[in-house]
Amino acid sequence: MFESLSERLESAFKQLKGQGRITEINVASTLKEIRRALVDADVHYKIAKEFTDRVKEKALGAKVLQAVSPGQLMVKLVQDELTALMGGQAASLSLEQKPSVILVVGLQGSGKTTFSGKLAYFIRQKLHKSPLLVAADIYRPAAIEQLKVIGQQIQVPVFSEEGLPAVEIARKAVTEAKNHGYQVVIIDTAGRLAIDEAMMQEVADIKAAVNPEEILFVADAMTGQDAVNTAKAFHDRLAFTGVVLTKMDGDTRGGAALSIKYTIQKPIKFVSAGEKPDTLDIFYPDRMAQRILGMGDIVSLVEKAQEQYDAEMAKRLEKKIRKNQFDLNDFKEQLAQIRKMGNLKDLLAMIPGMGKQLKNLDLNDDAFKGIEAIINSMTPEERANPDIIDGSRRRRIAQGSGRDIQEVNQFLKQFEQMRQMMKMMNKMGSINPLHIRKN
Amino acid sequence: MSIWSRFFSREKQAELDRGLQKTRDNLWSRLGKLLTGKSTIDDEWLDELEEALISADVGIDTTVEILNRLQQKAARERYRNSEELQQLLEQTILSLLPPVQQPAPAQPFQLPDNKRPYVILVVGVNGVGKTTTIGKLAYQYKQAGYQVLLGAADTFRAAAVEQLTIWSERAGVPLVKQGMGADPGAVAFDTVQSAMARNMDVAIIDTAGRLHNKKHLMDELGKIRRVINKKLPGAPHEVLLVLDGSTGQNALEQAKQFMAVTELTGLVVTKLDGTAKGGVVLAIAHQCQIPIRYIGLGERITDLQPFDPESFVHSLFAGAASA
């Protein structure tokens, strides 16, 4: 995980302390940190520079309110400016024609075929229109087969024809759609490099032949500094209507999004995050701004927790806690649940403000290992009823788990405290098993 | 014509030299001009260099490291003109890279004698070009006179097995496969077993693309590795991480995470036939001490080259002056 911007700024802002106004002098090092954070997030270096210049203009002379520190004010300025740049409103697809043709273009491996499948699914499920997928990547081995398999999975028909040039396939597909009443034609094209003249000509020819209503440029969210060149080259040639960011389920900060948006001024229409057909989402500028700045992403954390959390088990657990029957078996299950969500440090880092505390903490998945070993060395009876664990049992558990007896003692003490806390929470009313803490 | 094919196509040596000269002139004349009348490297010059490195995706930390080392070197070793400074810069960058292979093979696609079958596991995130790279590797090893067997352990992505099948036909090598959704560990096991039974020289195993932050998928990869190792102790002899040359700083995190579960032995950087420079591998090679083994330069079966550090360093600056 990257250091968060706010954390970085903190040191830069130390010198601002006690000053009521942001001035040319005290803002310089801060802006440098912002620029650095942006470049680290793969924002193009020239754009990062222009961006910080804009922020500087807005910041200079801005009054620092008493409630807000200059640091917080700057972060807010940066975030607002970034959100505005990413596009204030969500842009929808234009699907007026009959049939509407959507051309999907991009570099190799950016995720066009997977996205085409998701888009077809989205159009059917959310927009209630009938889509036709078109396999126009006649070059990559098994690309057509791939689209066919995806089409089968989501039960959307796939048009393909062996031995024809891509332009002809596209043309025929549109006729097919007209004849059979498909409302939206999604053409999945081959991946191509912007400098490959023959291939760029091909996609320009497809455009001329089928007159698409939407041309979506698919870009890997992990793209680096080259995003600007590629997007510009594709746009110069095709004048695309929107951008799609893929592989957003990775941990990239996604600065390429800003680079592309800034250079081309075309809306980002979708973000794609995962391999399942329903993992396509419309684009939220504010979320993206926070992500690029590495400011902690509480929404993602909640989503991640929901994704992995077993609701059934949570209910059972809640009941047990209510009856004050929470035992070490349940605790062990809880640990396993948390582990399923992934690296603990990464998870905690998603909580705004947590990044700094975690920085020097050597916290990894092994943090629970000792505790798990201790629990595993207990008999089922001991786990269900920790009160019976006396001195001799403690010695045995310590030996069995390879931990010191002190650690066993400490853990049992902590567990008892936790139970007391739950008891108290019970009295106060609402409880949520997700809130169980380590200590 | 791309920078990389210009650097790496052997038959076009003359063009390569000219091209190289031209690019060097570009950046160096500009950096040189900035130096005129000055006795030391100044900030303006360093800014220029910094921009070139950043725009090649080298990343801030490694860029700062290069600049610092260069400044120290320049202070110690007197340079007389910009050509000598250029040499210092190249040396500085090359000093970041770990040695490619010990001992270095005489030929690029030569296998060590004592390891049969030589098992290569290919890993990476989605869409970086793993399958294509395997097709090219199979072809190269076959050309070098080895018996090659492929293993289709990407049983997840739609038509991934079909894709590898086509590459195996192109390269003229056999393939071990099971159906879609089969356990990738089982396919890897079968592949190694089959390679041993058939006295193959090299087995190359494809895996499904996986994002490095998905724990269960990374665990699965760790398991594939253990299964291979159980069947043939010492294997996999190579674990290659394939990186898309246009990827930015996230590639560093990819390398770290894949390193943690599979003990990577080398990097393959693909899609360098475009405008992307792939400078992030410099950061990876430096910070993780993983050698870069091959670079991918296109979609043809011959478009794979052993990594050449010097050409790579040149290419980082190619075209930077006009950007």
Sign of CA dihedral B144, B145, B147, B149: positive
Alpha carbons A432 and A422: distance in angstroms, whole number: 10
Residue A126, pLDDT above cutoff 60:
yes
Tens of pLDDT, residue by residue over B120-148, are: 999 999 999 999 999 999 999 999 999 99
Burial class of residue B154 (count of CB atoms within 10 Å of its CB; 0-12, 13-18, 19+): buried
Q: Closest approach of chain B CAs to the CA of A117, in angstroms?
A: 11
According to CATH, the topology of domain B4-100+317-321 is Four Helix Bundle (Hemerythrin (Met), subunit A) (1.20.120)
Closest CA to A228 of A44, A50, A82: A44
pLDDT band at B98 (very low <50, low <70, confident <90, very high): confident
Distance from C-alpha of A94 to C-alpha of A100, rounded to nearest angstrom: 8
Question: Distance (Å, rounded) from C-alpha A134 to C-alpha A142?
Answer: 14
Side chain identity at residue B88, one-letter code: L
- Amino acid B20: pLDDT: 40
Residue among A74, A91, A90, A86 nearest A29 (CA): A74
Instruction: Kindly determine whether residue B249 and residue A40, on different chains, have CB atoms separated by under 8 Å.
Output: yes
Q: How far apart are CA B245 and CA B56, in angstroms?
A: 10
- Which of A145, A148, A224 lies at the smallest CB-CB distance from B248? A224
Q: Per-residue pLDDT averaged across A391-417, rounded?
A: 89
Q: Give a three-class secondary structure readout of chain A.
A: CCCCHHHHHHHHHHHHCCCCECCHHHHHHHHHHHHHHHHHCCCCHHHHHHHHHHHHHHHCCCECCCCCCHHHHHHHHHHHHHHHHCCCCCCCCCCCCCCEEEEEEECCCCCHHHHHHHHHHHHHHCCCCCEEEEEECCCCCCHHHHHHHHHHHHCCCEECCCCCCHHHHHHHHHHHHHHHCCCEEEEEECCCCCCCHHHHHHHHHHHHHHCCCEEEEEEECCECCCHHHHHHHHHHHHCCCEEEEECCCCCCCCCHHHHHHHHHCCCEEEEECCCCCCCEEECCHHHHHHHHHCCCCHHHHHHHHHHHCCHHHHHHHHHHHHCCCCCHHHHHHHHHHHHHCCCHHHHHHCCCCHHHHHHCCCCCHHHHHHHHHHHHCCCHHHHHCHHHCCHHHHHHHHHHHCCCHHHHHHHHHHHHHHHHHHHHHHHHCCCCHHHCCCC
Residues of chain B with CATH 3.40.50.300: 118-308
Is the overall model pTM greater than 0.90, yes or no?
Answer: no
Q: Are A252 and A226 in contact (CB under 8 A)?
A: no
Using alpha carbons, select from A126, A294, A114, A343 the residue that is nearest to residue A218: A114
Q: Which amino acid is at A372?
A: E
Place of tokens 């390891």: B115
Q: Tell me how far apart the alpha carbons of residues A5 and A23 are, in angstroms, rounded to a whole number.
A: 20
**Closest in B57, B158, B253 to A146, CB measured:** B158
Nearest CA in chain B to A256: B248
Q: Contact B259/B290 with Cβ under 8 angstroms?
A: yes
User: What is the mean pLDDT of the segment spanning B37-47?
Assistant: 72
A300 touches chain B (CB under 8 A): no
Among B290, B302, B170, CA closest to B240 = B290
User: Are A223 and B246 an interchain contact pair (Cβ–Cβ within 8 Å)?
Assistant: yes
pLDDT of A439 reads: 35
**Contact between residue B82 and residue B52 where contact means Cβ atoms under 8 Å apart:** no
Which positions 146-165 of A are in contact with B (Cβ < 8 Å)?
146-150, 153
* B100 appears as a binding residue in the annotation: no
Closest Cβ opposite residue B246 in set A140, A224, A247: A224
CA A224 to chain centre: 17
A263 touches chain B (CB under 8 A): no
A110 annotated to bind ligand: yes
CB A206 within 8 A of CB A189: yes
Cβ separation B277–A342 shorter than 8 A: no
Q: Which residue has the higher pLDDT, A290 or A11?
A: A290
Residue B38's pLDDT is what? 60
Higher-confidence residue of A334 and A434: namely A334
pLDDT, greater one: A22 or B47: B47
CATH topology for the B118-308 domain: Rossmann fold (3.40.50)
Q: In angstroms, rounded to a whole number, what is the distance separating the alpha carbons of residues B248 and A221?
A: 9
Residue type, B97: L
Residue B210, annotated ligand binder? yes
For chain A, what is the radius of gyration of the CA atoms? Answer: 27
Burial class, A172, CB count within 10 angstroms (exposed 0-12 / middle 13-18 / buried 19+): middle
Q: Do B271 and A107 touch (CB under 8 A)?
A: yes
Distance of alpha carbon A192 from alpha carbon A243, whole angstroms: 16
pLDDT mean over A1-26:
59
Residue from B6, B43, B58, B126 whose CB has the most chain A CBs within 10 Å, to mutate: B126
Q: For residue range A161-190, what is the model confidence (pLDDT) as tens digits? A: 989 999 999 999 999 999 999 999 999 999
Interface mutation vs chain B, best among A1, A45, A193, A301, most B CBs within 10 Å: A193
What pLDDT does residue A301 have? Answer: 58
Residue-wise pLDDT for B193-229, tens only, equals: 999 999 999 999 999 999 998 888 999 999 999 999 9
CA atoms in the 13 A half-sphere facing the CB of A190: 24
Tally of CB atoms within 10 A around A248: 26
Both tokens assigned to A137: 């990547």
Q: Which helix (DSSP H) or strand (DSSP E) does residue B218 occupy?
A: helix B215-231
Radius of gyration of chain B from Cα atoms? Answer: 21
Interface of A with B in 398-417 (CB under 8 A): none
Pick from B2, B214, B249 the residue to mutate for testing the A interface (most A CBs within 10 Å).
B249
Q: How near does any CA of chain A get to the CA of B178, in Å?
A: 16
Give me the phi and psi of A125, to 5 degrees please: -75, -45
B153 phi, psi to nearest 5 deg: -90, 5
Which residues, 6+ apart, have CB-to-CB distance to A58 below 8 Å? Answer: A77, A81
Q: Where residue B25 falls among pLDDT bands split at 50, 70, 90?
A: very low
Average pLDDT over residues A49-65: 80
Region(s) of chain B under CATH 1.20.120.140: 4-100+317-321
Identify the pLDDT of residue B21: 46
How far does Cα B182 stand from its chain's mean position? 29
Q: Which residues of A touch B249 (CB under 8 A)?
A: 40-42, 224, 252-253
CA B148 vs. chain centroid, Å, equals: 21
| Contact between chains at B274 and A194 (C-beta distance less than 8 A) | yes
pLDDT bin (cut points 50, 70, 90) of residue A323 is confident
Give chain B's mean pLDDT: 83
Q: With an 8 Å Cβ cutoff, are B126 and A346 in contact?
A: no
Other beta carbons within 10 Å of A193: 21
The pLDDT of residue A117 is above 60: yes
Q: Is B222 annotated as a binding residue?
A: no
Residues of A in contact with B214 (CB under 8 A): 249, 342
Interchain CB distance below 8 Å, B166 and A142: yes
B67 is in an annotated binding site: no
Q: Which of A193, A255, A343 sits opposite B215 (nearest CB)?
A: A343
**pLDDT tier, A98 (very low <50, low <70, confident <90, very high otherwise):** confident
Residues 42 through 101 of chain A touching chain B, CB cutoff 8 Å: 42, 44-45
**A141 and chain B in contact, CB less than 8 A:** yes
Nearest CA in chain A to B161: A142
What local confidence, expressed as pLDDT, does residue A346 receive? 59
Residue B136: predicted pLDDT:
96
Reply yes or no on whether the pLDDT at B47 is more than 70. yes
Give, as one character, the DSSP assignment of residue B250. Answer: H
Domains of chain A in sequence order? 3-85 (1.20.120.140), 100-295 (3.40.50.300), 302-428 (1.10.260.30)
CB contact under 8 A, B271 and A150: no
- How much is the average pLDDT of A101-123? 95
The residue whose two tokens read 């120290």 is: B72
Look at residue A244 and tell me whether its pLDDT is greater than 80. Answer: yes
- How high is the ipTM of this complex? 0.85
User: Smallest Cβ distance to B275: which of A147, A150, A230?
Assistant: A230
Q: Are A268 and A86 in contact (CB under 8 A)?
A: yes
> In the prediction, which pLDDT does A204 show?
96
Averaging pLDDT over each range in A20-24, A241-245, B273-277, which range is the top one? Answer: A241-245
In eight-state DSSP terms, residue B169 is H
Q: Is the pLDDT of residue A320 over 50?
A: yes
Paired with B148 in beta bridges are: B202
Q: What is the pLDDT of residues A281-297, one digit of tens each?
A: 888 888 888 788 776 55
Residue A222 in contact with partner chain B when CB distance is under 8 A: yes
Token pair of A175, please? 């006729």
Task: Report CB contact under 8 Å: A146, B277.
Answer: no
Closest Cβ opposite residue B244 in set A44, A109, A340: A109
A191 marked ligand binding residue:
yes
For position B256, what pLDDT does the model report? 92
Q: What gap in Å lies between CA B241 and CA B270, rounded to an integer?
A: 11
Region A57-77: what's the mean pLDDT? Answer: 69
Contact B248, A42 (CB under 8 A): yes
Lowest mean pLDDT segment, chosen from A18-27, A52-61, A204-213, A263-272: A18-27
- Does A222 sit within 8 Å of B129, measured CB to CB? no
pLDDT band at A21 (very low <50, low <70, confident <90, very high): low
Buried b / exposed e across A98-136, counting CB within 10 Å, b at 16+? ebbbbbbbbbbbbbbbbbbbbbbbbbbeeeeebbbbbbb
Structure tokens at B69: 């080392």
Give B36 or B138, the one with higher predicted confidence.
B138
Residue B214 identity (one-letter amino acid): K
Query: Which chain B residues are closer than 8 Å to A255 by Cβ?
Result: 248
Q: What part of A 333-362 touches B (C-beta under 8 Å)?
A: 340, 342-343, 346
> For the segment A192-232, what is each residue's pLDDT rounded down to a tens digit?
998 899 999 999 999 999 999 999 999 999 999 999 999 99
For residue B160, the chain A residues in CB contact (below 8 A) are 142, 146
Spatial separation of the C-alpha atoms in residues A276 and A114, rounded to whole Å: 9
